[in-house]
A and B are shown apart, each in its own frame.
Chain A
Amino acid sequence: MNENAGTFDPLDRRLMLATQAGLPLVPRPYDELAKTLGIDADEVIARLQAMLDTGRIRRIGAVPNHYAIGYKANGMSVWDVADESVDAFGERIGALEFVTHCYRRPRKLPEWPYNLFAMVHAPTREEAREKVEIIAALLGDACRARDILFSTAILKKTGLRISG
């Protein structure tokens, strides 16, 4: 899992610290970062590219607030699916166009019987529920129990923050 553990280059780490809250919104952001870090802009670019290539950076771009762009209903659908078939279903559910995250997670019995989590974003709860029914239809008898948890407030959304 963590084959990269302990191999995080100190300069990459400083670059992460300098960009985790966002890129400078100036015409030459990499030059500005280079100045801050005391290196060349070419090196900033090369290091960001290398981190993208190795998956240390997932993507570079805009992170929208789902509520603000019209997806008011954020439903975490949760499912109890037999261990032997959960992965096959998970792959199919993750491929649905309205599913934004899909994970297998441990159950917490007896309070929490669900092992498959699929996040659904939609303009309204009604539309989210319709989409969740598509997942239910796909699972059929494989679904032993289900629920949907709608978010009613974003209490924090800063994203990852490591400290220098």
Chain B
Amino acid sequence: MPEANKASGIPPSLDSLDRKIIAGLQGGFPLCERPFAAAAATLGLGEDGEEILLRRLCAMLQAGILTRFGPMFQIERIGGAFVLAAMRVPEERWEEIVASVNALSEVAHNYRRDHEFNLWFVLATETPQGIAAAIEHIEAETGLPVYPFPKEREYFVEMKLEARL
């Protein structure tokens, strides 16, 4: 298996400006008429800051350094559900099963992990019932059990990752 998706092939080309943007813009993007200009001013990007920021964000999205730029919705507050689930996938069926799990739009993230439970994904649905339906669908399609790990409690954490390259 490759070490990661396309992102792992990226050379460590982030410069100090990219790092500053990543560290400074993981939240708090302004809600105003010219938010990129306002954010650029906060980051101290200078006179052409708005244009520089937009260009950098586009480039980082294209390169896969950022997976998204925008609002992160908390579906549980809108009546939906997020559930972590795992499967034990036999090596010989790996490609087939990853393809069928990934094909579901309800699968928001999916990771391979080095454990007997080797496939870990997050289901995100607009209704709590959608989770059970997605699990049933995957079980029917693959013939393998899906183990849901719904969160019983979330302990407070803050966003604190900075670029390390």
Give min CB distance, A124 to chain B, whole Å: 10
Q: How far is the CA of A153 from the CA of B4 in the complex (A)?
A: 4
- Binary interface encoding of chain B residues 1-40 relative to chain A, with 1 for a CB under 8 A from any of its CBs, else 0: 1111101101010100000011001111101111111000
Q: How far is the CA of A153 from the CA of B109 in the complex (A)?
A: 11
Give min CB distance, A61 to chain B, whole Å: 5
Evaluate whether A159 and B113 lie within 8 angstroms (CB atoms) in the complex, with A27-B34, A57-B74, A90-B155 already known.
Answer: no
Evaluate whether A23 and B70 lie within 8 angstroms (CB atoms) in the complex, with A8-B79, A61-B26 already known.
Answer: yes
Determine if B34 and A149 form an interchain contact, defined as CB atoms under 8 angstroms apart: no
Contacts of A112 in B (CB 8 A): 117, 147
Evaluate whether A153 and B108 lie within 8 angstroms (CB atoms) in the complex, with A45-B32, A105-B84 already known.
Answer: no
Is B142 among interface residues, defined by CB-CB distance under 8 A? no
Q: How far is the CA of A41 from the CA of B35 in the complex (A)?
A: 12
Evaluate whether A54 and B77 lie within 8 angstroms (CB atoms) in the complex, with A61-B28, A155-B112 already known.
Answer: yes
Q: How many A-B residue pairs have CB under 8 A?
A: 276
Contacts of B109 in A (CB 8 A): 154, 156-159
Is A131 among interface residues, defined by CB-CB distance under 8 A? no
Is A97 among interface residues, defined by CB-CB distance under 8 A? yes
| Residue from the list B3, B67, B151 in contact with A157, Cβ < 8 A | B67
A side interface size, CB within 8 A: 85
Is B131 among interface residues, defined by CB-CB distance under 8 A? no
Q: How far is the CA of A27 from the CA of B66 in the complex (A)?
A: 19
In residues 95-152 of chain A, which contact B (Cβ within 8 Å)? 95, 97, 99-106, 108, 111-112, 117, 121, 123, 147, 149-152
Determine if A70 and B152 form an interchain contact, defined as CB atoms under 8 angstroms apart: no
Give min CB distance, A24 to chain B, whole Å: 9
In residues 45-88 of chain A, which contact B (Cβ within 8 Å)? 45, 48-49, 51-52, 54-72, 74, 76, 87
Nearest CB in chain B to that of A15: its residue: B71
Determine if B5 and A154 form an interchain contact, defined as CB atoms under 8 angstroms apart: yes
Nearest CB in chain A to that of B149: its residue: A105
Q: How far is the CA of A151 from the CA of B120 in the complex (A)?
A: 9
Which of A7, A27, A99, A101 counts the most chain B CB atoms within 10 A?
A: A27
7 interchain pairs, CB-CB under 8 A: A23-B29, A27-B54, A62-B25, A62-B69, A68-B7, A158-B67, A159-B108
